[in-house]
Amino acid sequence: MIYCVVPQELADELYEKLRDYYADDPNVEVIIDRRQAERRGSGPAPGGGERQQRDRRRRRVPGEFPPVDVES
């Protein structure tokens, strides 16, 4: 599904035109953006603020590989 999002300020002049233009395409839906404010706050994130970045890779197994006998 493809959403064609029309800003609320332009909805009066664009919504019906775009809806008619994409009427034959079932994969496109024209919608009006009705959000009033951003959902994310500008302040610090709740949760203590003591974020730690960690290495996501697996730790290596301690030790070394045993010697390999190579026959020539």
DSSP-derived letter for residue 16 is H
* Candidate from 2-6, 20-24, 51-55 with smallest mean pLDDT: 51-55
Question: 67 phi and psi, to 5 degrees?
Answer: -65, 150
- Predicted TM-score of the model (pTM): 0.51
pLDDT score at 38: 77
| Helical residues (DSSP H) of 1-72, grouped into ranges | 11-21
Residues 6+ away with beta carbon under 8 Å from 15: 6, 30, 32
Exposure string over 5-27, b if 16+ CB within 10 A, otherwise e: ebeeeebeebbeebeeeeeeeee
Residue 41 has pLDDT above 80, yes or no: no
